Amino acid sequence: MATLNWLCHGMLAAGLVMPCMTFVSRMGDATDIARAAGLIPDPKTYSVLSGILALFEDGDVLIGGVLLVFSVLFPVAKLIAVRLVLGCATRGAIPPGMLKAVTALSKYSMVDVFVIALLVVASKTMPGGSRIRPEWGLLAFGAAALLSMGLTSAVRRATTSAG
């Protein structure tokens, strides 16, 4: 389980800095002319971190802060908490609130993935064929979240059966 936890660390890091989604602006069959005329921007790719940074730069501090908390701080905190639980389990003494904290943190670490999934679905109704294209960084982030959820469940089962 310690190895899986380190794998989660790597996948979370990948999910935070690698391309997460690409905004593609289109104007139907007039896209190329409009792009040549400078009316629509070129496709723009964001990672989770660069997207949060862009929100702060644009003045959307509240939304950027929410995404920072639920997309970065909560997942990192959960990985740290799982490591602490694993460490305490090997010493045979898990603090009572630790497992509850891990469970609580795991509830919110998928929020960003859900937000992006909603954006992708909503973008399918945009006019002119504009859309948000998910990139593989999103898969890494989602996989990290799912893997850590599974790790949390395994830790809970292991500590319950040992108790």
Partner 1 sequence: MEARPPGTPRRALPSFLWTGATSLLAIAAVAGIYLAARSRLPEREAEAPASPEREGTELIEGMDYRVMVAVARIKPEKPDGGKWDSGSSSNAAPDPFYEIWWRGNRVYESHEVEDVLVASWSNVALPELYALLTGAKLSLETIKEGALITARLSDAIDIRILDDDPIHDDVIEEFTIGMTELRVGDQLREGRYGLESATLRVIPRDTRQLEHFIR
Q: Which of 20, 67, 68, 79 binds partner 1 (CB under 8 A)?
A: 79
For residue 116, state whether it binds partner 1 (rule: CB under 8 A). Answer: no
- Residue 76 or 149: which CB sits closer to partner 1? 76
CA distance 136 to 152: 24
What does the alpha-carbon distance between residue 50 and residue 56 come to, in Å, rounded to a whole number?
10
Binding mask 80-109 for partner 1 (x = CB under 8 A): x--xx--x---x-x-x--------------
**End-to-end CA separation in angstroms for the chain:** 18
* Residue 135 found at the interface with partner 1 (CB under 8 A): no
DSSP H or E segment with residue 32: helix 31-36
Strand segments (E) across the chain: 21-24, 44-46, 131-134
What are the b/e assignments for 89-114, b being 16+ CB within 10 Å? beeeebeeebbeebbebbebbbbbbe
With binding defined as CB under 8 A, does residue 162 bind partner 1?
A: no
Binding mask 29-68 for partner 1 (x = CB under 8 A): xxxxxxxxx-x--xx-------------------------
Task: Kindly indicate which of the ranges 15-23, 99-107, 116-124, 147-155 contains the residues binding partner 1, using the contact rule CB under 8 A.
Answer: 15-23
- Cβ proximity to partner 1: between 37 and 62 the closer is 37
Nearest Cα neighbor of 92 from 153, 162, 157, 150 is 162
Residues forming contacts to partner 1 in the complex (CB under 8 A) are 6, 9-10, 12-14, 16-18, 24, 26-37, 39, 42-43, 76, 79-80, 83-84, 87, 91, 93, 95, 128
